[in-house]
Structure 1
Amino acid sequence: MSVLSDSKIKNSTFFLTGFPGLEQQYPWLSIPFSCIYAMVLSGNCLVLHVIWTEPSLHEPMFYFPAMLALTDLCMGLSPVHTVLGILWGLSQEISLGACIAQTFFIHGLSVMESRVLLAMAFNHFTAICNPLRYTSILTNTRIIRIGVVILGRSFLFILAPIVLLKFFHYCHSHILSHSFCLHQDLLRLACSDIRFNSFYTLALVICTLFLDSVLILTSYILILHSVLAIASQEEQLKSLQTCVSHICVVLVFYIPIIGLTMVHRFGKNLSPVVHVLMGNIYILFPPLMNPIIYSVKTQQIRSRIQRWFTLKRN
């Protein structure tokens, strides 16, 4: 009876490695990580607040940055309790249920961010290549529908492999290689048949991240072709400037993904802490940088933020 009970407990509890080799520096590491999480929270909430409270920003072109800020806010804060829990010396253990929930949100929000970036690319393509029909194509109702579809499909598509994690038997070491839970980490510890999860997630990556990146690239090729057809150089620059912020956030999202993939694929001999840091960069870098990009590169948002802080001082 006790052996069965101990087996059930072991099978439902996992140990997060945190940052291997840096255990003595945890109190110091907790300071920059706490600051990063505070910046993620304040930066994305500020963008959302400005867009929500400023009537002049209640336009289709600003709804997509609001969707991105909301996604980044949830994405950046999804691993906060385990990462800071480790750095503050509270706990490195996590239950199977909590681990699966964290996995569900991290991967679901990652797919959702990719879809939002694709929707933003479509927004810029429509505004530049078909400006006369922009307001009739991207109405408020249609944008709300796009947002609902992105939210529903992003989490619905990953539901099946995540639910299966609950029924796997984990007979290998229960040590996870990051400071938060990821699908591939749990698969590595499972002794059950994981072929469906492996093939499904590969297909999902191809159909979302890869396909989205191809469609975004295609949209900008068409945008560039349309812009070069404009006679005035001033108009060309003005049209391209509207895309700068989106291009930056696309790079901020995909570069860490490429870096993390390269490290996992070719960095077998690298220190485990490199893998952990790359995983944290993949999750934290976009939510940290995107509010800064939109606050600096988008004139309407930048001016409203400046006016908001000016009023606060007065």
Structure 2
Amino acid sequence: MKLTLQIKLLPIEEQALSLLNTIRTCNIVCNRISDIAWEKKEFNQYRLHHLVYHQTRDSSNLSAQIVVRCISKVINAYKAGKKKKRVFKPLGAITYDSRVLSYKGNTASVWSIDGRLRIGFVCHNPRYLPHVKGEADLVYRKGKFFLFQTVEIPEENIKDVEEFIGVDFGVNNIATPSDGIQYNSKQLDKVRNRYSRTRQSLQSKGTPGGRKCLKRLKGREARFATVTNHAIAKQVVEKAKSLNMGIALEDLTGIRERTKVRKVQRRKHHSWAFAQLRFFPPI
């Protein structure tokens, strides 16, 4: 099972400055590569690599592997569409792999334009670190640095079961297992309504302070909904394990296209994260 482990880096001031400069440099290089890819209409990674690799190495202070990762970032961006030239933000996320990033204890060895940086970190599930496999995204968000690292957890042995717990999904009741327990959305709706009112108030003012506050609040509602879904998923799975039963989930594919809602119901309907709950790993 592949998961994404969120790791918060704890750099000192000099290391933070070096990471920022590294991110900016990589995105400048990505924009140069994107210019060439767009001009030549070349969106194949192998051929683009031969077009830009050597000149990029000669004109920048990036290592060979980081240049390869920059080329991959550009190619991945054009996979979403080739009708528009891709432009990368100065502080957009950059990708690392095992050649330029490693972990030892509570320290991460991260490549930067100033050399390797050994930075302390914290993460919510350190027991997953031995299962690190694949790439990691270095993200700068609200003055903090995060690594979103791919890990591959060994699958548990699948047991044959004869009985299942059925789970229905809904807007008012997030999940309703067949054992009769209901996980309602009262608290989630309360939080969403509060953030919605706050956003409307700040947006109507249009002041610099209001925009700064909006930026600070960004993502809080989504994170609360994610934690709620994760907690529900864990409880349902633990119940199924204790009873030695399987889980049968309601399939709501295309439900938003099949149903019509009133205007006042649109926000609640479209913020319904049933797909996230359906695929949440229960660990």
Indicate whether the TM-score tops 0.5: no
Point out the structure with the larger strand share.
2
- Pick the structure with greater CA Rg: 2
With normalisation by structure 1, the TM-score equals 0.24
The structure with higher relative contact order (CA 8 Å, sep 6+) is 1
